[in-house]
Structure 1
Amino acid sequence: MEGQNFLPKLRVKKLDEKAFIPVKGSEHAAGYDLFSIESTVIAPHEKKLISTGIAMQIPVGNYGRVAPRSGLAVKNFIDVGAGVIDADYRGEVKVLLFNFSTQLIIEKYTRTDVEEAEILDDTERGEGGFGSTGVKLDNQPAVHETVHLGGVKRTLEDIKE
């Protein structure tokens, strides 16, 4: 048995006789397919909270992320509401979605302690955000001091007031 890798166990408890244990669609699939225990119609642009009829014990150091299945998302514009399942949650897994097909992805996270700091390490990116990744300072467009808001021309000084 030396050298064998033992995978952490995702323990699943059926809360309803109609529930299915999550399965992977292929050997190397990232996500486990989740199934609804309800038969319902979700009209376009309507969201519903759907029961899976299962509870789970996710390995400590991981969390579950409910995500749309890629094929259905591309073909049918499926939206899955944000869903994070913490390792210590033991209640029923429910899914907020436009459609029945979602996946549970087990992701690694790092537990951290928060430390207040007066100074942060410098990086090339610095304080750039919202689309600034990979843009060097010498390539930055000039900042325009005039903007149009609701058809009204205003200067940055007007907006600050």
Structure 2
Amino acid sequence: MGFICKLKKFAFGREEENIIKVKRFMHSALLPKMGSADAAGMDFYQPESVVIEPHQTQYVTLGLALEIPKGYMLMLAPRSSMSKTPLVIPNSFGVIDADYRGEIKGIFKNTSDNAYLIKKGDRLLQGILVPVGALKLLEVDELTETARGSGGIGSTGK
């Protein structure tokens, strides 16, 4: 059974709506929801309880697939409340490309010495719709000079 989530975005001062088609893989999967009218992302609900053992990294299904609009990606980022848990997202955030149609999963690492229970209904992840552009690379012998130049990490101050 399919569902539709509507996300509002603002482009050049005008409000537009993006529609994301949603497919449930589990009857217990809840549709993502915006936490407030001006929230940057939509919260994903955990469809079933899962235990992550100490110091283990585990894929955790969200029970949904999404049809991301062309020209966008969905960034799966931790909600701020996840900082109250021993869980981290090992790769910082997840990227759901517009052409991916599989089930969405989060990746969590339990940094504690104790097993951690993610309860059914917990909201640990948020999805943020991000515009992406097509890129073309041009190989050159030299790059344009800038004041920073090749100064790397920490080169612009502390």
Q: TM-score range by the shorter chain?
A: 0.7 to 0.9
Residues in 2 aligned to 1:31 and 1:46: alpha-carbon distance in whole angstroms = 27
**Do 1:68 and 1:78's aligned partners in 2 also have CA atoms closer than 8 Å?**
no
C-alpha displacement of 1:14? 1.1
User: What is the match of residue 115 of structure 1?
Assistant: 138
Aligned-CA RMSD value? 2.0
Higher radius of gyration, 1 or 2: 1
User: What is the match of residue 124 of structure 1?
Assistant: 147
Equivalent position to 1:79, from 60, 71, 88: 88
Residue 96 of structure 1 aligns with an amino acid whose one-letter code is: I
Unmatched 5+ stretches in structure 2: 1-12, 110-117
Equivalent position to 1:47, from 24, 39, 57: 57
Greater helix share, structure number: 1
Residue 105 of structure 2 aligns with an amino acid whose one-letter code is: K
Identical pairs, percent: 39
Residues in 1 aligned to 2:74 and 2:16: alpha-carbon distance in whole angstroms = 19
TM-score (norm 1): 0.73
Residues in 1 aligned to 2:128 and 2:15: alpha-carbon distance in whole angstroms = 20
Residues in 1 aligned to 2:148 and 2:86: alpha-carbon distance in whole angstroms = 34
Residues in 2 aligned to 1:5 and 1:34: alpha-carbon distance in whole angstroms = 24
Greater strand share, structure number: 2
Residue 38 of structure 1 aligns with an amino acid whose one-letter code is: E
Residues in 2 aligned to 1:64 and 1:112: alpha-carbon distance in whole angstroms = 18
Moved more, 27-36 or 40-49: 40-49
Give the 3 Å change call, closer, same or farther, for CA 4–115 of structure 1 in structure 2.
Answer: closer
Residue 117 of structure 1 aligns with an amino acid whose one-letter code is: V
Paired residue secondary structure (2:145)? coil
TM-score (norm 2): 0.74
Deviating beyond 6 angstroms after TM superposition, the runs of 4 or more aligned structure 1 residues are none
Residues in 2 aligned to 1:38 and 1:48: alpha-carbon distance in whole angstroms = 14
User: What is the match of residue 23 of structure 1?
Assistant: 33
**Do 1:38 and 1:50's aligned partners in 2 also have CA atoms closer than 8 Å?**
no
Unmatched 5+ stretches in structure 1: 136-161
Kindly tell me the number of residue pairs found equivalent between the two proteins.
132
> Is residue 2:70 matched to residue 1:60?
yes
User: What is the match of residue 6 of structure 2?
Assistant: none
User: What is the match of residue 147 of structure 1?
Assistant: none
**Do 1:66 and 1:80's aligned partners in 2 also have CA atoms closer than 8 Å?**
no
